[in-house]
Amino acid sequence: MLDLPDPDNPVVHVHTRAHGGLGTLSRRALDARVHAGEVAPDDLFWISGLTEWCEIRHHPELFDDLAPVSQAPSGSSEVMDALTDRPGPRPVETLEPELLDSPGHTVASVGHPSSPTPPAPSAAFSLAEDESVSFAHRTWVPEPIEEEPIEEELTEEEPIEDEPTEEEPIEEEPHSWHELPPDADALVPTDTALGFDDESEADENEFPAPSPLDPVLEAVFTELLEATWDYQEAHEFAGCVDEVFLGAIMTSVLDAGRLLIDLSSDGTHHFLRFEHPEDNSRVLLRLTHLTGNLTTSRVQGHMASVVVGYGERVSGFGDIWARLSSEPRSGLVPREQPGALVADGDVASQYVYVQVRLYLRIDDYVAADWSIDHDRLRDHLSACVRSLRAHLYGRLR
């Protein structure tokens, strides 16, 4: 059952074999044209809700609720008979061969003109099977549809062209990729190509609804999007897990009673500095993500290099500094080798630090579902700080 538009709402797309496209008419205007003989009962129409173009004669309900046209032409009774009768398709042998090259009946253009067009009549479907027909300007021909009487009728009728009418000019459709407007073959259609501009909102009804999507193709598109999102999700996690870990470290150290007093990054390393508000001891951290892409992380897991430092402001810094400086330094032993405890000092702040470089498995603290084991991380960091402090006190003694 057709969902009929208002009788005076010009949303019925009409395509005649004699004059091509007539644009959009109201049902009442269409009725008048039918009675005037300008539109034949077997001409095509399309309104929103239809999956394809239909012959007018098969849908007499289009005019059921309309008042009779006042000045019906002499042949009106025949017209009405034709609307109510539903004769079979015209014989193939009655069709005109020149219709075959009619450019107005190719497959609907992929790149639409500035305003959306209704689905093209399915006449071209049968053209694909006729090898004598030139397909020079066709870019895609779908599989022929069987049991379509329209196809046969249109293929041998006189050529039908989409000509703009006076009341509503229609931009001629391009018929090949080369003839498409500049943005028609863009990978991402512009709003203009889609007809989405501010003015178009008010005239929404002037454009036909997009033809229903093939559910199978729609499902394919959905699957492609889903796969894309899943892949992107995995990549995003692999790329930002170090910053998840960084936030987790901040939370864990804050939970241990310290305050974040510095946060910086140089693009490769993240630097954090914390201070305890009571004893002013400081904890420094440098975090470096070692497996920053999905492939590496799937092989090795998510790994990070973390340098943890613990420092205290000390009295007699000069003496301590001199003692640290007097230690042998041949340059043969890497001072920042993982697992080695190194003492260092900051003259300006008079802090002495001990630091150690560790390799940590981020996976031990951050799960693939983004959940974080803060307790474990806090315990591990506390263990590091405790050991570094003990080492520092030992060195200062």
Partner 1 sequence: MRVCVPCARTSTVASADFQFPLAKSPTAQAVVVRDLISQFRQKADIHESRYEIGIGEVVRAMARLGYPTVSFRLQGEGQLVQFRAVGHPTLYGVHVVFERPSGGAVTRAMVGSRVVLRITAEARCRSADSAVLVRLARSSAHRESAESFEGEIRVEREVSSLLAHTCREIDLDDHVGKGANGTRTLVGLLRTTIEALAAAIGHHKGLSPVR
Q: Which residues bind partner 1 (CB under 8 A)?
A: 191, 196, 201, 210, 213, 218, 221-222, 225-226, 229, 236, 240, 243-244, 246-248, 250-251, 254-255, 259-266, 270-271, 273, 275, 277, 280, 284, 286, 307, 309, 321, 324-327, 329-332, 334-336, 342-349, 353, 355, 366, 369-372, 374
- The two beta strands, 259-265 and 54-55, are unpaired
Both ends of the chain: CA-CA distance in Å? 95
302: helix, strand or coil:
coil
Rounded to the nearest whole angstrom, what is the least distance from the CB of residue 335 to partner 1 in the complex? Answer: 5
When the beta carbons of 133 and 260 are compared against partner 1, the nearer one is 260
When the beta carbons of 147 and 198 are compared against partner 1, the nearer one is 198
Which residues are within 8 A (CB) of 214 and not within 5 positions of it... i.e. 6 or more apart? none
Structure tokens belonging to residue 348: 């300006």
Rounded to the nearest whole angstrom, what is the least distance from the CB of residue 278 to partner 1 in the complex? Answer: 10
When the beta carbons of 94 and 222 are compared against partner 1, the nearer one is 222
When the beta carbons of 141 and 294 are compared against partner 1, the nearer one is 294
C-beta of residue 150 within 8 angstroms of C-beta of residue 121:
yes
When the beta carbons of 182 and 331 are compared against partner 1, the nearer one is 331
Rounded to the nearest whole angstrom, what is the least distance from the CB of residue 182 to partner 1 in the complex? Answer: 21
C-beta of residue 374 within 8 angstroms of C-beta of residue 244:
no
When the beta carbons of 177 and 207 are compared against partner 1, the nearer one is 207
When the beta carbons of 166 and 278 are compared against partner 1, the nearer one is 278
When the beta carbons of 135 and 321 are compared against partner 1, the nearer one is 321
Indicate the burial class of 211 (C-beta count within 10 angstroms; 0-12, 13-18, 19 or more).
Answer: middle
How far apart, in whole angstroms, are the C-alpha atoms of residue 366 and residue 302?
9
Structure tokens belonging to residue 338: 């993982």
When the beta carbons of 196 and 359 are compared against partner 1, the nearer one is 196
How far apart, in whole angstroms, are the C-alpha atoms of residue 330 and residue 244?
39
Rounded to the nearest whole angstrom, what is the least distance from the CB of residue 187 to partner 1 in the complex? Answer: 15
Rounded to the nearest whole angstrom, what is the least distance from the CB of residue 325 to partner 1 in the complex? Answer: 4
Indicate the burial class of 306 (C-beta count within 10 angstroms; 0-12, 13-18, 19 or more).
Answer: buried
- The arrangement of strands across the sheet holding 44-46 comes to 20-25, 12-16, 44-46, 54-55
Rounded to the nearest whole angstrom, what is the least distance from the CB of residue 344 to partner 1 in the complex? Answer: 6
136: helix, strand or coil:
coil
How far apart, in whole angstroms, are the C-alpha atoms of residue 87 and residue 55?
11
Tokens 């402090």, residue?
389
21: helix, strand or coil:
strand
What secondary structure letter does DSSP report for 58? G
Rounded to the nearest whole angstrom, what is the least distance from the CB of residue 389 to partner 1 in the complex? Answer: 17
Rounded to the nearest whole angstrom, what is the least distance from the CB of residue 345 to partner 1 in the complex? Answer: 7
How far apart, in whole angstroms, are the C-alpha atoms of residue 384 and residue 307?
10
Rounded to the nearest whole angstrom, what is the least distance from the CB of residue 262 to partner 1 in the complex? Answer: 5
When the beta carbons of 8 and 199 are compared against partner 1, the nearer one is 199
Indicate the burial class of 258 (C-beta count within 10 angstroms; 0-12, 13-18, 19 or more).
Answer: buried
For residue 13, the tally of other CB atoms under 10 A from its CB is 22
Rounded to the nearest whole angstrom, what is the least distance from the CB of residue 273 to partner 1 in the complex? Answer: 5
